[in-house]
Chains A and B, each alone.
Chain A
């Protein structure tokens, strides 16, 4: 099993640019979670999908953030326009139906200058 795959692993961009982070969940998993990790705020859940449908996006910080899951094997998190305070590590995690265990991807380290 390849595990959760995220790309890119590192992203450096200038303020105002659009950023798109990508995630491929573990095959067969039907729930996908996007988290953000910073020193100040720790690990925060941004949004999660169940069977490709967004269930809870209450953690999305503002309208500049959007997430999609067009199919069971792909999700994106987009930030437009990006700001320096968006600098963080963004993790994607997935879990199987009826199970509780969430498995994290390697993360994308985003730096906005």
Chain B
């Protein structure tokens, strides 16, 4: 099955700086890569996703890049704000099913 690894496990940044989280996946057939944000005690919320036919996608201060050859994808958050503090999960889904395999999560803390 799919194996997703996520790094770093924790990330502390100064408000206004950028944050980058990286994930690798094992199944070359995977074609859908979402990112979820989970605040303490809340549900995971989809913040951005990318399909395998696209190399980069942006939505305001967040962007995701995908390198299919290397089987890795990254989340970039620019101009970080305190409300960006949360746990972020990457995930991957295969071409023949919709099962999501999640990374272990990155706890992002934005220091004011």
Show the binding face of A for B, using Cβ within 8 Å: 31, 33, 42-45, 48, 50, 55-56, 91, 95, 100-107
Q: Is the CB of A43 within 8 A of B49?
A: no
Q: Among the interface residues B36, B43, B97, which one has the most CB atoms of the partner chain A within 10 A?
A: B43
Which secondary structure dominates chain B's binding surface?
strand
User: In whole angstroms, how far apart are the Cα atoms of A107 and B99 in the complex?
Assistant: 18
**B104 shortest CB reach to chain A, Å:** 5
- Known A-B contacts A42-B104, A43-B44; the reply to A100 vs B34 at CB < 8 A is yes
Residues of A within 8 A of B36 (CB): 104
Q: Mark B86-111, 1 if CB is under 8 A from A, else 0.
A: 00010001000111111111000000
Show the binding face of B for A, using Cβ within 8 Å: 32, 34, 36, 42-46, 49, 51, 89, 93, 97-105
Residues of A within 8 A of B32 (CB): 100
- Known A-B contacts A42-B104, A42-B105, A100-B32; the reply to A91 vs B44 at CB < 8 A is yes
Q: Is the CB of A48 within 8 A of B46?
A: no
Q: List 5 A-B contacts (CB under 8 A).
A: A100-B49, A101-B34, A103-B46, A104-B45, A107-B43
Residues of A within 8 A of B34 (CB): 100-102
Using CB atoms, name the residue of chain A closest to B33: A100
**A4 shortest CB reach to chain B, Å:** 8
Q: Is the CB of B46 within 8 A of A102?
A: yes
Q: Among the interface residues B32, B34, B98, which one has the most CB atoms of the partner chain A within 10 A?
A: B98
User: In whole angstroms, how far apart are the Cα atoms of A15 and B32 in the complex?
Assistant: 39
Residues of B within 8 A of A101 (CB): 34, 46, 49
Our pick among B42, B100, B103 for the contact of A102 (Cβ within 8 Å) is: B100
Q: Is the CB of A45 within 8 A of B99?
A: yes
- Known A-B contacts A42-B105, A43-B89; the reply to A56 vs B99 at CB < 8 A is yes
